[in-house]
Amino acid sequence: MREFIEANKDWLTVFQLPSYAPDLNPQEGIWSLVKRTIGNLAAANLDQLARAVKRSLKQIQYRPHLIDGCLAATGLITDG
């Protein structure tokens, strides 16, 4: 990888990120939203839980401002 980076440094910018940084991962924000909607669910079985998670993700899908907010919260938005 280092050889590739060195060979392409004229157009490639590499950022070193910590190995574990949930605050830099937009997925963490999405899961936080899902957990809020199913937090009080007493699922009778795994299928019911899976349906609830899918329903929550579907609702988030149609609210792009929520997704944008999860990305913006990381501070990793780039121009372009």
- Cβ contact 66:60 at 8 Å: yes
pLDDT tens, per residue, the chain with 80 residues: 999 999 999 999 998 878 888 888 889 999 999 999 998 999 999 999 999 999 999 999 999 999 989 988 888 766 65
Packing angle between helix 26-38 and helix 46-61, nearest 10 degrees? 120
DSSP letters along 51-64, please?
Answer: HHHHHHHHHHHT-H
What pLDDT sits at residue 78?
Answer: 60
The torsion angles phi and psi of 75, rounded to 5 degrees, stand at 75, 15
What pLDDT sits at residue 77?
Answer: 67
- Cα-based torsion angle of the residue sequence 21, 23, 26, 30 in order, rounded to the nearest 10 degrees: 120
What pLDDT sits at residue 46?
Answer: 96
pTM of the model: 0.67
